[in-house]
């Protein structure tokens, strides 16, 4: 049992990292297995659904992890804007630490696989939804109006900044978004 979960987990971790960095179609199962020196024959024992199942679970895994991180930071910080700034900083550090390979853990797969696989698309939607609802919940707790809409915009800005930063190999877009997050979220009051 220990070994089983161990192997399964290692496959999943490796696959998730590669899917995040390269997308679904650019990532070969051989690469997943070779990186990490994983057993070859047992892949279809642990993941009978093949590559698609691997992607679905990878997306779920990374979605849950980021969701947990969001929850933790938002929980531990009274000001949600400050919390989101921390999150952006975290994502930026991870991006730079991975030599600008690992941006949003879901977007790459969402864009290149969700058109061709409904299960993968659903998993990506689930991840996005979970992040958005966590943010919305804390925005509501902070007394902001229309927390769902604001959460969507905040998430969109962060996602977009990750794409720009990753492609440019430059954290500036993330910093720009972090800087304007407060204005963006407080805007509602001045316009409403």
Partner DNA sequence: ACGCCCGGGACGTCCCGTTGTT
Partner DNA sequence: AACAACGGGACGTCCCGGGCGT
CA distance 126 to 187: 28
CA distance 58 to 161: 22
The token pair that represents 96 in the structure block: 């730079």
50 binds, among its own copies, DNA, none (CB under 5 to 8 A by kind): DNA
User: Of these, 61, 81, 91, 158, which contacts its own copies (CB under 8 A)?
Assistant: 158
User: Of these, 64, 65, 141, 167, which contacts its own copies (CB under 8 A)?
Assistant: 167
User: Of these, 15, 19, 51, 110, which contacts DNA (CB under 7 A)?
Assistant: 51
23 binds, among its own copies, DNA, none (CB under 5 to 8 A by kind): its own copies
CB neighbourhood size of 91 (10 A):
24
DSSP string over 127-181: HHHHHHHHHHHHHHHTT-SSHHHHHHHHHHHHHHHHHHHHHHT-SHHHHHHHHHH
Find tokens 């690469």 and name the residue: 31
Span near its own copies by CB under 8 A; candidates 67-75, 77-85, 133-141, 175-183: 175-183
Residue 22 binding DNA, by CB under 7 A: no
Of 171, 190, 14, nearest to 89 by C-alpha is: 171
Q: What is the contact surface with its own copies in residues (CB under 8 A)?
A: 21-26, 101, 103, 107-108, 110-116, 121, 124-125, 128, 149-150, 152-153, 155-161, 163-164, 166-168, 172-173, 176-177, 179-180, 182-184, 186-188, 190-191
Q: What is the contact surface with DNA in residues (CB under 7 A)?
A: 1-5, 7-8, 27-31, 39-46, 48, 50-52
């Amino acid at each position: 049992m220990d070994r089983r979960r161990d192997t399964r987990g290692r496959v999943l971790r490796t696959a998730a990292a590669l899917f995040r960095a390269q997308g679904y179609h650019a990532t070969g199962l051989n690469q997943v297995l070779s990186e990490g020196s994983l057993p070859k024959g047992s892949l279809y024992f642990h993941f009978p659904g093949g590559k698609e199942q691997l992607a679905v679970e990878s997306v779920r895994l990374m979605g849950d992890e980021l969701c947990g991180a969001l929850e933790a930071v938002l929980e531990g910080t009274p000001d949600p804007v400050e919390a989101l700034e921390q999150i952006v900083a975290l994502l930026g550090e991870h991006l730079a630490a991975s030599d600008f390979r690992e941006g949003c853990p879901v977007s790459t797969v969402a864009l290149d696989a969700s058109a061709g696989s409904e299960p993968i698309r659903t998993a990506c939607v689930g991840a996005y939804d979970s992040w958005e609802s966590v943010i919305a919940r804390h925005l509501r707790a902070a007394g902001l109006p229309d927390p769902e809409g604001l959460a969507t915009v905040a998430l969109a800005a962060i996602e977009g900044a990750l794409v720009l930063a990753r492609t440019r190999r430059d954290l500036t877009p993330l910093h720009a978004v972090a800087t304007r997050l407060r204005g963006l979220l407080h805007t509602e009051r001045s316009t409403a």
